[in-house]
Amino acid sequence: MLRSASHLDIIVNPRYFSQTLTPIPLTTPGEPGAYSEKSLRSLLGPSPISVGRKSFEDCFRSVSTKQSDYCLLPFENSLGGSIHENYDLMLRYDLVIVGEHDFRVRHCFITRPGVKTEEIKYAISHPQALKQCDNWLRARNIIPIPTYDTAGSAKMLKENKNLPEGCTPENTAAIASDLAADTYGMDCRCSNIEDDDSNFTRFLLLARKGLSVQDREGVKCKTSIVFTLEETPGALYKGEGVLFGVEATHICLNV
C-alpha cells in the first residue's frame, strides 16, 4: 500500500538565492558553523543566511509553520548510513524535496588560540564525528567525549561554558568544521583528521509545496517514494516489481 510520496518536482537554482532582494529564510540543524550550514553555503553560495535549530524536527516545524521557507537536512552518510529520523519526519510533515547535495565532510582539530597541542587530553564533539576520527585520536592518546553538536563543541570551548567534567579550554579540543573555527575565532590546528577520506553526507533541501525557484523543464528529476507492505511472503518482491525498468539509486528498508 502506497503511504506517501515526495517528488523532486521543484528544482533549486542557486542564483535565485543570491539575486533576490528580500532575504530568504532558511533553516539548518545545529549551532552556527555546523556542517549543515557549510553544506548550505556549498550548495547555494555565501549569500543565504540560515538560522540554526536544536533538532531535526525543529527544522521541519519551522518550514511547516512558515517561519522559514527552506531547510537543509542530512539524510544519509557514506559511513554511518541512513538517518532514519529524517525519513520518518518526511512522513509527518508535508514538505517536498527541492534540492540534493553530496557534501564531503572534513573534520578539523580545533583549539583556543595559544593552546599547546601537546597538552590536549580530551576531544569533544558529536558522537558520529568522534567515531569518524577514532584512529587519529587513539594515535595521540586523546580521550573522546561526546557532546550534542560539532559546532556546539567549538562554541562551548570558546565560551568556557558547559564543558564536560575534567575538560578545560587548555586541555580540550573540539572536532568540527573549519567554518566553526572561523565562526568562533578558534584555531584549526589540523585538518582532514577523519579516518576515511570517502566521508560524504547527502543533504536534502526541503520546502513547502508551492515554493518554486526554477522551472523543471529540461531538468532530470528524482522521485522519492515511501510505502508499507503487508507481512506476507514475497511482499517486498511484488512491491519492487512495480518499479521494473526504473533506475533506483537508493533503497532503504525499515523492519
Q: Is the pLDDT of residue 4 over 50?
A: no
Indicate whether 66 and 34 sit together in one domain: yes
- pLDDT interval class at 188 (50, 70, 90): very high
H-state helical runs in 141-177 = 150-159
Q: What is the CATH number of the domain that holds 115?
A: 3.40.190.10
Active-site choice (111, 203, 227, 228): 203
Q: Is the dihedral of CA 14, 202, 244, 234 positive or negative?
A: negative
Backbone dihedral angles phi then psi of residue 223, each to the nearest 5 degrees: -125, 130
Determine the average pLDDT of the residues in 79-84.
83
168 and 115 in a single domain? The answer is yes
Task: Based on the fold, state whether residues 135 and 52 are members of the same structural domain.
Answer: no
Residues 100 and 113 occupy one common structural domain: no
- Global confidence as pTM: 0.79
Task: Identify the domain containing residue 159 by its residue range.
Answer: 108-191
Tell me the average pLDDT across 17-22.
54
The DSSP H or E segment spanning 193 is none
Proportion of the chain above pLDDT 90, given as a percent: 57
227 versus 124: which is more confidently predicted? 124
**pLDDT greater than 70 at residue 15:** no
Active site residue 150: no
Q: Does 120 share its domain with 179?
A: yes
- Length of the chain equals 255
Residues 98, 207, single domain; the answer is: yes
Is there a catalytic annotation at residue 17? no
Residue 255 lies in a domain: no
Tell me the average pLDDT of the chain. Answer: 84
Q: What is the mean pLDDT of residues 222-250?
A: 76
In a domain, 254, yes or no: no
Number of compact structural domains in the chain: 2
pLDDT at residue 12 in the model: 53
Is residue 220, in this structure, part of any structural domain at all? yes
pLDDT number for residue 9: 36
Q: What are phi and psi of 139, to 5 degrees?
A: -65, -20
The active-site residue, picked from 201, 223, 227, 249, is 201
The stretch 217-221 carries a mean pLDDT of 61
Residues 228 and 182 reside in one and the same domain = no
Task: Kindly report, residue by residue over 174-184, the tens digit of the pLDDT.
Answer: 999 999 999 99
Same domain? For 112 and 96 the reply is no
Strands 200-208 and 172-176: unpaired
Question: Are the beta carbons of 27 and 56 closer than 8 angstroms?
Answer: no
For residues 47-65, give the mean pLDDT.
91
Note the pLDDT of residue 162.
94
Beta strands 122-125 and 108-111, pairing class: unpaired
> Of residues 192 and 81, which shows the higher confidence score?
192
Tell me: the pLDDT tens digits for 144-181?
999 989 999 999 999 999 999 999 999 999 999 999 99
Note whether residue 250 is domain-resident.
no
Q: Are residues 114 and 54 in the same domain?
A: no
Among 80-89, 122-131, 161-170, 213-222, the range scoring the smallest mean pLDDT is 213-222
Shared-domain flag, residues 52 and 114: no
Q: For 15-19, 121-125, 135-139, which range has the lowest pLDDT when averaged over its residues?
A: 15-19
Instruction: Return the pLDDT at 225.
Output: 72
**Cβ-based neighbours of 184, under 8 Å, separated by 6 or more:** 33, 151, 154, 155, 157, 158
> What's the whole-number mean pLDDT along residues 57-67?
95
Does an H or E element contain 167, and which?
A: none
Asked if residue 249 belongs to a domain, the reply is no
59 and 72 belong to one structural domain: yes
